[in-house]
Amino acid sequence: MNQENLKITVTKHTGEKVIYEPGKLQKALFQAGANSDQIKAVQQEVENRMVDGMSTKKIYQTAYRILKKLSSKTAGRYRLKQAVLEMGPSGYPFEKLIGKLFEFKGYSAGVGKVVQGKCVSHEVDVIAKNENEQIMVECKFHRDPGYKSNVKIPLYIHSRFLDVESAWKITPGLENLHFTGMVATNTRFTEDAITYGRCTGLRLLSWDYPEGDSLKNWIDQSGFHPITSLSSLKKSHKQKLLENNVVLCRELSDNKEELIKLGMKPDQIARVLKEAATLVSQ
């Protein structure tokens, strides 16, 4: 791309047209683990193919195909956000991912629990506990990357948490614990939702919030990449594995029989396991 084309516009998933910013692509590639030569090669190739009004989705797809040729491991990490979006249509795999991420942080975690509050019972997506605190986590999974959870979500979850907290406070064995409510989503929150969370002490976790301690950071730090990150698996195979409660790449080596049930041949299984092992290696 020459200097005259540096102000080319791109179309976001919302339909909004903005000026293309090379730094955003560079940052995404760097965060995925791409080295300077790979970043330069991908950026140059993407920009050579760009036309005015090109969608950001098309830019991402182009960058992914180029990066995949350079490093399958980096490519898998680059498409992490898309991989999480593909964990649906049900929200259960996402709930399991959140539970596993809490376990990585030293908590015990239960997924899909019914908890009695002071007034009524509640279906809670994840309960995470360590020696100091117990957290009630509500998970909000969305397949639309542009979806933002508005302030109504934390308002509703906070009221549920207060009912549960009232019961926890008088439960034998929990006297010395601090109780916290939390909403976790794979997309984003509106500014009002974030403001409400800060005001009430309700923790919020989204793809890029809080800065430096976001869902993306949690996954990167743990290496708990979902199986939807793998290019060696067909979409139908990924869905079947998710339905059978195999959610993470690191779970595949202990669930080889699930790959056999899919009718995969030994060489195909070997490729899947190799890619999974490479992706989760630090």
CA separation for the pair 138, 120 (Å, rounded): 17
CA separation for the pair 99, 110 (Å, rounded): 7
What pLDDT does residue 2 have?
46
CA separation for the pair 46, 24 (Å, rounded): 13
Residues 6+ apart with CB under 8 A from 97: 84, 87, 219, 224, 226, 247, 248
Q: Give the mean pLDDT of 24-38.
A: 91
Summarised one tens digit per residue, pLDDT across range 47-87 is: 999 999 999 989 999 999 999 899 888 988 898 999 999 99
SS3 89: coil
CA separation for the pair 42, 37 (Å, rounded): 9
CA separation for the pair 199, 157 (Å, rounded): 14
Q: Where are the domains of the chain?
A: 3-78, 92-222, 227-280
Is the CB of residue 249 less than 8 Å from the CB of residue 280? yes
What pLDDT does residue 73 have?
84
Token pair of 240, please? 């079947």
- Which helix or strand (DSSP H or E) is residue 135 part of? strand 133-140
- Which helix or strand (DSSP H or E) is residue 61 part of? helix 56-70
- Identity of residue 65: R
Cα torsion 240, 243, 249, 250: sign: negative
What percentage of the chain has pLDDT greater than the value 70? 98
pTM: 0.88
Summarised one tens digit per residue, pLDDT across range 88-108 is: 889 999 999 999 999 999 999
Domain over 92-222 is classified CATH 3.40.1350.10: yes
pLDDT of 256 over the 90 cut: yes
What distance, in Å, lies between the first and last C-alpha atoms of the chain?
34
- Which residues is 114 bridged to in the sheet? 123
CA separation for the pair 10, 21 (Å, rounded): 9
> What is the DSSP pairing of strand 9-11 with strand 17-19?
antiparallel
Q: Give the mean pLDDT of 33-39.
A: 93
